[in-house]
Structure formats: C-alpha cells, structure tokens
A and B are shown apart, each in its own frame.
Chain A
Amino acid sequence: MTAPWTPMRWPASWKDPSALDLLKGAAIDYLVVDKESGFDAVRAQARAQGVHVVDAGSTPSGVTLIQGAWPGVKMGRAGGNAFAGGPTGVPWVDTNGWQIRLSAALHPESAVWVDAPPKGSQRFAPTSYLTALADSAAYGGRWLISLDDRLVSGLAARQPDALEAWKTITAAAGFFSSRKAWSEFVPVAAVGIVSDFAGPNESFSRELLNLVGRAGQHYRVLPKSNVAGASFDGLRAVIYADQAPPTAETRKHILAFVESGGLLITVPAWGAVSGAPVKGEEHPRFVVHAAGKGRIAQANAAPDDPFIMASDAVVLVSHRYDLVRFWNGGATGSYYAEAPDRKRAVVHLLFYANRGPDSASVRIAGRYRTAKASTVDMAEIANVHVESHEDAMEVHLPQVSPYVALELEVQ
C-alpha cells in the first residue's frame, strides 16, 4: 500500500489564510477544505505553499476514504472513568486498524485515509490525537487530521496549551511521513482470513477481522477473489467462514496449504470434510480432522457470533504462535510488518490508554540482532532492556507514550 500524503481537514472557522502559517515545517501536505467561496484565499495560499487541496466531500484520486471511529478505550455511557466492557469484561477498544488492512488488501494501489473526527465538546488531550494518528499510520493508513472546536479556537488565539497539542500532532505526522519505506513492508501474520468481505458475509467477516486483531492474533487479509495470487507464507492457519462454499479454485489453494501442514478453520458451508477426527483435539464447537500434513477444524454449526469464532480461532491456532505478547500494557494493539528483503521489521505498539503504561514488556517472535524503540518525539528511547530468547526477543520499556515503534534487524 502507499501513503504519499498527510491529510488534514481545514477547520471551518479558519478563513484567514494566515492560519496556514501553522503548516510551515509540518508534514501536512493535503488539505480537505470546505467548498464555499469564503475559503478561496485559503485554497490559493495553500497551493502557493505547495500543499494539495481537495474539496470537502470529495476524495483525491488514488485515495480510499473510510469512515472510522475515534480510537481508544471506549468509555461507558455513564461517563467519568468507567470503561465500557468488551465481551470478556476487558475494556473495549475502538481501532481503525482492521479497516485500513482490509481496504489495503482490496485496493492495494490506493492510499487509505481515515475520517474519524473528534466528537463532542470535551477537551481532547494531545495524547488522544497521538493515538488517532498512530492508530491509522501504524497500519499503513493516514488519519485525516481533524481538530476539536476547543483546539481550533485555541490555536487561532495561539494559546500555549493549544500550541503544545499542535506540536504533538505535527510531531506524530512528521514521524510517520518520514518513514515512507514502512508502507512497503508486508504484514507478518499467523493466520489468514479468506472472505469476499461483502454481501451476506460483510458484517461477520469484517467483525472477525476486528476481533481476531483485538484478541492479539496477527492476521493477513486474503480477498477471496485473489486467493490464487495470495501469499500463505508464514501462516499457521487460514479462516474461511463465508456463508457459501468456496469456488473450486479457492478450495484448491486452501487445501494445498492444509496438505502442506497448515490449519484450516472453517464452517459447515465449506462442505464435507473427509479424514478422521484427530484424537486429543476435542473442541466443544469444532471437529478437527487430519488432512495431509495439516488439519481442518470445522465448526459443528454455522457461527452466529464473530467474537466466539475469533476466540476459538486464536485457541485453535494456539498462543504458542503468538507473534507479539504484551505485559502491563493495558489496552494494547500491535502491527508487525517486515521489509520485502526480510532483513528488517517494524512492530508498531499501541497503548490505548491516554497515558502510556509503566513497566510494560513486549515479546516479539523471531530472531533479531538488534531492536530500537522510538516514539514520535524520541528517536531512540533510553533505558530499554532487551532479552534474547530462543526464538523471540523480549523488550522491557520504561514509561512510554501511547505509541512505540520497535525497529528490528534480523540476525
């Protein structure tokens, strides 16, 4: 996927082009500006500064705009500090990562922008903006920078706290803009999710992406239309949960993966599975069959809850093959990608609480020679302790911001 621009929605109250001074030195290079004529001067001045402009409501060529959610820990309706619980009672996290991954898989030639403006009249902390930027950029997309009303008026008045928040936003935007090579990196994954992600499968398959990711499983999106050309490299398992059986061609490719040692997690719609059930692999909702060197785990009934399907899939694959494990991270997310030459990798670590955790540890599967941890305002975090394990490395982080990039070099 590509990420050539850093976009921003121009505030409706900033009709004076002098506000464009804020962009000087910043990585923001694409403005989404209201169509009305009151912004003509802004548009002209922006273009003069080398900044691209597009009318609000339009999307530039080469960009897919997705409607996202403000990322972070979802608060309860009661407000205050009450978290909304997810299906397991742990805090629920809104993230746009899965949508970006899906869009990139379906439209690999396009950049992905995420439209998820801050809503409500509350004050949004600078770290919330950092999370919004990082939650998109970590997965290869770009958040359409959108400022809340208080920040807009504060910046117009050049208030110190507003300028401090702006500094955080531009630092984050600059950090990701200067690392364009990462957009060429390919996801490291344990499981592939095959679907057309549309029609009767749209809701279930998309929620499956979201929930498999929330469960900490690293996945690769495999559009059904192109399974033949897709890479199964490094995958432990493939999930096929669509309501209709696959085409003969799709089936052939998935079965080849299974025959060579992979695991297929599927539903009754896949069709009859031959092969004896595997002894010792009893499961309350699946029957596991041997197939060549691999296995097929077929659900006893069509699943109606993507949460249970995602949870089952993670266990069927096994936490043994976790690519990333966190400790003391709070509500976390991660995206692990490697360079095409496989000599370098980056693991984006997202901590969705507004304050980064203390004494967080992360274990990354793989054999690496070096690890460098950075944040958007720190080129290299000091006091990072790295332990080498047999097939993994464990990194102990000091108190960090909500986003950390771990850059790794292979042995």
Chain B
Amino acid sequence: MHCNRSRRAFLSQTATGISGAWLAGGSFARAAQAPAAPVAVSRARTYEPNQLLPTMQQMFDRLGGLERLVKGKTVAIKINLTGAPTYRVGYLPLEDTHYTHPHVIAAAVHLMGRAGARRIRILESPWSTADPVEEYILRANWEPRDILGAARNVEFENTNYLGRAKKYSRMIVPHGGYIFPAFDLNHSYEDCDVFVSIAKMKEHATAGITLSMKNCFGLTPCTVYGTGAGADEPSLIPKGGRTLIHSGNRQPSKSAPPEKDPTTPRQDTWRVPRTVVDLISARPIHLAIVEGIKTMTGGEGPWIREELTGVAPGLIVAGTNPVNTDAVAMALMGFDPMADRGTPPFEACDSTLRLAEDVGLGTRDLRRIEVIGTPIAEAKFDFAAIRKKRRAVPPPPMGIRG
C-alpha cells in the first residue's frame, strides 16, 4: 500500500503541538481523539545493507515517502547508544543487543540523503563525556565513516553538553509539562526542521519498555540535568548519569527551568515516563523508527540485573507518530499497549504511552492505528512470555563489568 498524502498532511500527523481546547477535555475524551497515523512493520532478518535498504525504503514509501518529509530540510536523528561502549551483553557486539545498529542508521541516512535532505545530524548524548560521537562509537568497534559517507552533509553532534553552540536552546513543553515546563537542550534539537528517533526495541528496568519515545530521555544534557551539573550554570563537560531526573534529588542548573512541583513523588518509575513525555512534547518526533532486528531481552543494557539474552526478532517498525509507533512495537513485543501501571511491562511504573496519549500526542489504541506491511500477529516476537518465564526465577548473580 502506498499512501499519496501531501507533505502538509504528513507533518500534521506528527505531534507538533497541542491546542488549548484539546487540553480542556477529559483524559478519556483526549485518548479517544488522540492522533492516529499508519505504522509500517517489516520483517528484516539481517543487517545486510542490500536487504535493509529496500526494506526501509519500502516502509518509508508506505508512510508517504521520505521526500515529503526531508527534501531541502535539516534532519536531526536521535540514535540510542545507551551506556558506555565498554559494556557488552556477554561477548555480543553492542549493536546486536542495546545500541541502534549502525547499518540501520546508515540506511536511514542514505535514504534521507537520496530523498533530498539538505543536512543530516546524528545526535546522541554519550555516557559521561564531551568527546565527539565519532570517537565514542569507535570504542564500540564501529566505523563512523560508514555513516558519515552514507549521504552528503552528514555530521555527528554530542548533545550531552553545549556542543557547537554558544548557548542552550530553551524548548517549551506545549502542554505545560508533567514535571518540567521547558528544557535547556543542545542547539541541534532546535536547529532542525525534521526530528527523527531511531530506537532499539527493548524492555527497560525503569520505564517498562524503551522505544522511540523513551529514546528521547537522552536529549537532556548532563551538564544541566546530570550528576555533575553545575548548581547555578551548566558544567562545561558532562559527568555521570541523569540521577536528578531519575530520583529528583536536586534541581537542574539554576540557569534552566526547574521542576514545576518539587513535592511530587521522587520515584524514577513515576518521574522518568513523565519526563519523557515532556521531552517529546517540547521536541516533537516527526519520524519514529524502532529496530528490533537483533536486540536483547531483560532490560535496556548489560548493567541490568536480570537474565539478559541476545535475541533476533527480525523486526523493524516505523511511523510518523511516536505514540502510535511505540504502541505497535509493544504489541509486536507481546505486550498490550493499553497496559497501565501494575500490568506488564509496567508492573512498577507508569506507562509512557498512556501519559503521552493523555496529553494528546497520539493514540495507543491499536483499533485506531493502521498497520501497514507485516501484520502484528505474523511478526510478533514474544518478549512478554520470555519476561514472565524469566521473572519466575531469581535473577542471576552479576559479574564485574566495565
């Protein structure tokens, strides 16, 4: 199926803003009206470019074509390189378990370049460093030239600090914010016409699952929102993780907007999903890609104290609405996207999808989402069943890792 929608319609389906009238409605009413856009699902058995490129091309075509979205535009792509590149699940390459695979990134870049993107910035906030992203990924045994050479005018930027700009960009949360009314982010998140999230399909210890929305938790620079953030002004270089967002043990640097209400729960399972929704409201996602060709079960990275296993679901999902896309990805993982706190994978946390739906970013109701390509029932890889079996026994002892 090929959709011949106009570029205006294409962009309007993305969560670019929320009207006051929308917010005036009740939660259930808002959920019923939350935007719905088609989501493309494809099987992809390997990361071989000769198979990946046509697969992704077909998916984007089914969504209306990349050209409508990126031609003549500056595209920012947030990838997922969670944790230090010195961590692996066993001996598996990082890209086969918890990092977005470089071939998926390169394929997306190549196709966007071919569709006429003027400039493409690959963005990530690598763990505790202001080093260039290129240097970071070399430590994961990647070759940055494979991505930089996939199209014209491709560059990386480390968004964990000020980067190449003179000041941070103040990004306002249109719905007022669950926790933060606005964020101070690296300029790249403002200096783009199109924002893309390329995530890995994974469970998450704090947020239940991590897909295209949770990937954007890493938008926050640790110089402002990290353990080593300056009290008054941002630190020059990032140090440590985002403890202050997780635990709420302190406020961001005073130069940035503080939390709306510091008396709210100081629990990461309450705070992280809400912060993610605030972030993707402030920096709307125009294209969400979730790759689960190879990934892991048990959590988001090797440091999680669960039985971690590399798996090959052979899936790739894309859509123009991140809530819709994540809902389909959840269903492909064997989870119910309508699940809420207390139900897997949200046994102990709030559902980022529900919170996003509540503020009108998109529906998580599969009945309202058109799935294009491989049907969910045919493509499903049952993370949920693996999770249930895994959690029936005590977690294994952890070794010492980097």
- Which residues of A does B touch, CB under 8 Å? 88-90, 311, 315, 318-320, 322, 325-330, 332, 351, 353, 355-361, 363, 385, 396, 399
Within 8 A of A (CB), among B111-166: 128-129, 131-132, 135, 138-139, 141
**A318-B128 CB under 8 A given contacts A326-B86, A326-B402:** no
> Whole-angstrom distance between the alpha carbons of A356 and B399 in the complex?
9
Q: Report yes or no: A329 in contact with B399, Cβ–Cβ below 8 A.
A: no
- Cβ of B367 within 8 Å of any chain A Cβ, yes or no, is no
Q: Say how far B189's CB is from chain A's closest CB, in angstroms.
A: 20
> Whole-angstrom distance between the alpha carbons of A74 and B326 in the complex?
43
Majority SS of interface residues in chain B? loop
Q: Which residue of B lies closest to A90 (CB)?
A: B128
> Whole-angstrom distance between the alpha carbons of A311 and B239 in the complex?
14
What B residues does A319 contact at CB under 8 A? 135, 138-139
- Cβ of B202 within 8 Å of any chain A Cβ, yes or no, is no
Which of B87-95, B339-347, B356-364 interfaces with chain A? Answer: B87-95
What A residues does B400 contact at CB under 8 A? 330, 351, 353, 355-358
What A residues does B240 contact at CB under 8 A? 89
> Whole-angstrom distance between the alpha carbons of A363 and B142 in the complex?
13
Q: Report yes or no: B128 in contact with A88, Cβ–Cβ below 8 A.
A: yes
- Cβ of B352 within 8 Å of any chain A Cβ, yes or no, is no
What B residues does A88 contact at CB under 8 A? 128-129, 239
Q: Say how far A131's CB is from chain B's closest CB, in angstroms.
A: 13
> Whole-angstrom distance between the alpha carbons of A320 and B134 in the complex?
9
Q: Report yes or no: A328 in contact with B87, Cβ–Cβ below 8 A.
A: yes
- Cβ of B298 within 8 Å of any chain A Cβ, yes or no, is no
Pick the contact of B239 from A89, A328, A399 — CB < 8 Å?
A89
What A residues does B129 contact at CB under 8 A? 88
- Cβ of B334 within 8 Å of any chain A Cβ, yes or no, is no
- Cβ of B389 within 8 Å of any chain A Cβ, yes or no, is no
Q: Report yes or no: B399 in contact with A361, Cβ–Cβ below 8 A.
A: no
Pick the contact of A89 from B86, B88, B91, B128 — CB < 8 Å?
B128
**A89-B402 CB under 8 A given contacts A327-B88, A363-B141:** no
- Cβ of B218 within 8 Å of any chain A Cβ, yes or no, is no
What B residues does A361 contact at CB under 8 A? 88, 91
> Whole-angstrom distance between the alpha carbons of A315 and B138 in the complex?
11
Pick the contact of B138 from A322, A328, A351, A356 — CB < 8 Å?
A322
- Cβ of B227 within 8 Å of any chain A Cβ, yes or no, is yes
The 7 closest A-B pairs by CB, nearest first: A358-B399, A319-B138, A328-B401, A89-B240, A327-B88, A396-B91, A330-B400
What B residues does A322 contact at CB under 8 A? 138-139
Pick the contact of B88 from A332, A351, A359 — CB < 8 Å?
A359
- Which residues of B does A touch, CB under 8 Å? 86-88, 90-91, 128-129, 131-132, 135, 138-139, 141, 227-228, 239-240, 302, 399-402
Q: Say how far B400's CB is from chain A's closest CB, in angstroms.
A: 5
Q: Report yes or no: B135 in contact with A318, Cβ–Cβ below 8 A.
A: yes
Q: Say how far B324's CB is from chain A's closest CB, in angstroms.
A: 36
What 4 additional pairs, Cβ within 8 angstroms, besides A326-B402, A329-B86, A356-B400? Answer: A315-B135, A358-B401, A360-B402, A399-B399
What B residues does A330 contact at CB under 8 A? 400-402
> Whole-angstrom distance between the alpha carbons of A89 and B235 in the complex?
14
> Whole-angstrom distance between the alpha carbons of A359 and B396 in the complex?
14
**A359-B135 CB under 8 A given contacts A326-B86, A328-B302, A330-B402:** no
Q: Report yes or no: B87 in contact with A327, Cβ–Cβ below 8 A.
A: yes
Q: Which residue of A lies closest to B145 (CB)?
A: A320
Q: Report yes or no: B401 in contact with A89, Cβ–Cβ below 8 A.
A: no
What B residues does A325 contact at CB under 8 A? 86, 139, 141
Q: Report yes or no: A328 in contact with B88, Cβ–Cβ below 8 A.
A: yes
Q: Report yes or no: A89 in contact with B228, Cβ–Cβ below 8 A.
A: yes
> Whole-angstrom distance between the alpha carbons of A385 and B90 in the complex?
13
Query: Can you report 14 A-B residue pairs in the complex whose CB atoms are below 8 A from each other?
Result: A89-B227, A89-B240, A319-B139, A322-B139, A327-B88, A328-B302, A328-B401, A329-B401, A330-B400, A330-B401, A358-B400, A359-B88, A360-B402, A385-B91
Q: Report yes or no: B227 in contact with A328, Cβ–Cβ below 8 A.
A: no
Q: Say how far A363's CB is from chain B's closest CB, in angstroms.
A: 7
**A357-B239 CB under 8 A given contacts A319-B139, A322-B138:** no
Q: Say how far B22's CB is from chain A's closest CB, in angstroms.
A: 42
What A residues does B128 contact at CB under 8 A? 88-90
What A residues does B402 contact at CB under 8 A? 326-330, 332, 357, 360
> Whole-angstrom distance between the alpha carbons of A330 and B88 in the complex?
11
Q: Say how far B24's CB is from chain A's closest CB, in angstroms.
A: 45
Q: Say how far A114's CB is from chain B's closest CB, in angstroms.
A: 25
> Whole-angstrom distance between the alpha carbons of A18 and B401 in the complex?
44
What B residues does A385 contact at CB under 8 A? 91
Q: Report yes or no: B399 in contact with A328, Cβ–Cβ below 8 A.
A: yes
